[in-house]
Structure 1
Amino acid sequence: MENQTETYSDKLLGFTLPARNARARAVRLDRVVDEVLSAHDYPAPITHLLSEALVLGALMGGLLKGEEAQLTMQAQTQAGVVSLLVCDYRAGSMRGYADFDSEKFGKLGANPSLSALFGEGYLAITFETGAGRRYQGIVPLEGETLAEACENYFTQSEQVPTLIRVASRSGGDGRVAAGLLIQHLADGEEGRERLHVRMDHPDWEHVSTLASTISHEELVDDKLSLEAIAWRLFHEEDEVRIMPGADLSRGCRCSAEYYEGVIARFPPDEQAEMRNEEGKVVVDCAFCSKAFELEI
């Protein structure tokens, strides 16, 4: 029987290594990723891509504090097969969507690379604190995976040494996607000022070397708790502080009231052009595939 005090799926886990000035987030998604993917009939490579994006959204969003804080990750290109990939996280509520050219996609092989899917794209990551503060970093969409692109973001935009590992698998019981993010906050653990961040800091070299030993199989093993993963990697450290994180769920914030508010901002003549023969404005939500008929 599973130990209910441990974390297995659809919940974030945070932990820190105080002696090494490192913080980490771990997550494993099953029900959440299946619910997000069910909104559209994505081909396998797009399913894999969006699963990875959801894991990354949870890992990075889990670094934020506050009910109104939000993380949005957007990968975009003008000429690639995938024109837009977006996911966001707010207080455990997640959503994601991918838009792609089916004709171009049909010309790709079975396992297209990230560059084949996006071409020369970019990755934008936006953190909103919920207190009116918002900051965004934009980096080229480079690397073999989205995880590598996110590592580049933290290195280039925030100068925070970061290691991210993501894994996923699909089977008869659905898809499981999981990941680990660990960062070095030099000269001060979480909550203190960061000074003199160095990619070659001995503590970071030690932590990143250990974290790199995590296997694909361990990440997606739904019988292995996230606490057990942290222990396997860092059981020789002086202290590992565990911090239970948010429960995760699929949460699309679309509603008729929201879209009515958006459309009300348009001039009357433009609103008239939006109406169909029945005098209604029909709005489709890309995230959840719901259609809203609005009488405006």
Structure 2
Amino acid sequence: MASNDILQRFTFDHSHVRGELVGLKQTLAEVYQRQSYPEPVNNLLGELLVAAALLSATVKIEGILSLQVQSDGPVSLLLAETRHDGQLRGIARMNELSDATEASLLGEKGQLIITIEPDQGRRYQGIVELEDGNIAKSLEGYFRQSEQLDTHLWISCENGVAAGLFLQELPALGEVQEAMDVDEDAWNRLNQLAQTLRTDELLHLDNDEILHRLFHEEKVRLYDGQPLRFNCSCSKERLSVALTQIGYAECQDIVDEQKKIRADCQFCGQHYSFTQDDVNGLFPLESAKNGKGLH
């Protein structure tokens, strides 16, 4: 397959074309074992995780990049998150699948939401229509509309293996282009060559084999890869922030009725609980006024 659980950049000499290759196997296994989705839903989630990894290479920030698909189909939500250091996680929400085919899982209408959340700085969000229920096509549309960059993606997931190829033409740089003796026909030629890649090759050949198969007559450079892995960033502290947004009254009602607040992470299934003492710590003033605080 495209090399296991790694993201690798490649470039071409004398051109403004860049590319990325990604393959996921162990990462997918760890995502899947924490959920119980049908195989067609797993495949869609695998595609979105690959897409998130590919896009993360184009964003030079420390923080989170997330892709969210919302649709009117049986799979109403897909969410994939990746951090700059290669952490990945994802979830899906679905209605009754019944007789739905894989092609109809995302329905007829939907949108793809790209969110970038730097650890330091402002949050960015872009939204595009979900094109024919196809994640790759929708992302190509995003780059055309928002970035004005010609971009093509090939993404596939089946039998617990997912892989993707990303190819993009960067803008020319005027005088720099002349000095570099840039091949102006490179984008069209390289894109046509990439179109010959078969799904089985994308899924089962190593990255260097894929590049040789497609571009053996080109001067291509494959760079060291970034390891990818499943990791969930959930914590009791982060859930505490969510509880403060719910408010004291609702939190206290739950503790009064159930003795504790129980919360499970949707991504990894980790169980958390919050006792009366926890609520007192989150809402010290309100708890004291209602006689719930520590004495």
SS of equivalent residue, structure 1 residue 53: helix
1:279 pairs with 2:241: no
SS of equivalent residue, structure 2 residue 28: helix
1:22 Cα shift?
A: 0.7
Equivalence for 1:137: 126
- The residue identity in structure 2 corresponding to 1:156 is Q
- The residue identity in structure 2 corresponding to 1:55 is V
Give the one of 55, 64, 69 matched to 2:63: 69
Give the distance between the partners of 2:14 and 2:173, measured in 1 at CA.
9
Contact 2:41 2:92 in 1 (8 A): yes
**Are the structure 2 counterparts of residues 236 and 129 from structure 1 closer, same or farther at C-alpha, using a change threshold of 3 Å?**
farther
**Are the structure 2 counterparts of residues 162 and 281 from structure 1 closer, same or farther at C-alpha, using a change threshold of 3 Å?**
same
1:134 Cα shift?
A: 3.2
1:169 pairs with 2:158: yes
Give the distance between the partners of 1:107 and 1:225, measured in 2 at CA.
36
SS of equivalent residue, structure 1 residue 19: coil
- The residue identity in structure 2 corresponding to 1:177 is A
**Are the structure 2 counterparts of residues 74 and 177 from structure 1 closer, same or farther at C-alpha, using a change threshold of 3 Å?**
same
SS of equivalent residue, structure 1 residue 209: helix
Q: Percent identity?
A: 36
Give the distance between the partners of 2:238 and 2:63, measured in 1 at CA.
19
1:235 pairs with 2:216: yes
1:278 Cα shift?
A: 4.1
Equivalence for 1:3: none
- The residue identity in structure 2 corresponding to 1:176 is V
**Are the structure 2 counterparts of residues 144 and 282 from structure 1 closer, same or farther at C-alpha, using a change threshold of 3 Å?**
closer
Equivalence for 2:286: none
Equivalence for 2:81: 88
SS of equivalent residue, structure 1 residue 232: helix
Give the distance between the partners of 1:288 and 1:89, measured in 2 at CA.
14
SS of equivalent residue, structure 2 residue 223: strand
1:251 pairs with 2:231: yes
**Are the structure 2 counterparts of residues 246 and 188 from structure 1 closer, same or farther at C-alpha, using a change threshold of 3 Å?**
farther
Give the distance between the partners of 2:143 and 2:256, measured in 1 at CA.
46
Contact 2:80 2:89 in 1 (8 A): yes
Equivalence for 1:211: 194
Give the distance between the partners of 2:157 and 2:24, measured in 1 at CA.
9
Give the distance between the partners of 2:12 and 2:46, measured in 1 at CA.
28
Give the distance between the partners of 2:253 and 2:69, measured in 1 at CA.
31
SS of equivalent residue, structure 1 residue 24: strand
Equivalence for 1:118: 107
Greater helix share, 1 or 2? 2
Using structure 2 for the length normalisation, give the TM-score. Answer: 0.83
Contact 2:74 2:107 in 1 (8 A): yes
Equivalence for 2:292: none
SS of equivalent residue, structure 1 residue 117: coil
Give the one of 31, 35, 49 matched to 2:44: 49
1:275 Cα shift?
A: 2.8
Equivalence for 1:38: 33
Contact 1:64 1:129 in 2 (8 A): no
1:180 pairs with 2:168: no
Show structure 2 runs of 5+ residues with no match: 178-183, 280-295
Give the distance between the partners of 2:256 and 2:35, measured in 1 at CA.
25
Give the count of matched residue pairs: 267
1:154 pairs with 2:148: no
- The residue identity in structure 2 corresponding to 1:246 is Q
1:144 Cα shift?
A: 4.9
Cα RMSD for the two superposed structures? 2.2
Give the greater-gyration-radius structure (CA): 2
Contact 2:77 2:93 in 1 (8 A): yes
Equivalence for 1:220: 203
* Runs of 4 or more consecutive aligned structure 1 residues displaced over 6 Å after TM superposition: none
